[in-house]
Amino acid sequence: MEQLLKHDLQSDARYLEDFVRSRVLRGSGPLKIAHELRNRGIDSSLFHAYLENQDIDWFEVASATYHKKYRSNDQIDAREQAKRVRFMQSKGFPSDIIFRLFK
């Protein structure tokens, strides 16, 4: 492992960058990405530092994910809205972003 680090063949920063990019393209939100990174042994402070330097519009990611699954918000009842909220939560988006989708 020391040899890999010495020759810059293994880098948590590069892994983090690729991982976040792939998850954003899949429609995952920041909460889910952070959880998956913690499970893979990447420090959450590294993730948060990375996000500060990126211009990821999480509302746009959430909107694209939502509209890929659901075509519109027209005439949905409370039960259907709760189902859709749970779906977006499972994708890792915070509540404030989710509820902006329904306004």
8-33 pLDDT, tens digit each: 556 677 888 899 999 999 999 999 99
Higher pLDDT, 96 or 7: 96
Determine the Cα–Cα distance for residues 38 and 36; give it in Å rounded to an integer.
Answer: 5
Closest by CA position to 24, among listed 57, 52, 53, 49? 57
45-79 pLDDT, tens digit each: 888 888 888 899 999 999 999 999 998 777 888 99
Which CATH number does 1-55 carry? 1.10.10
Mapped onto helix, strand or coil, the DSSP state of residue 8 is coil
- Encoded amino acid at 49, one letter: A
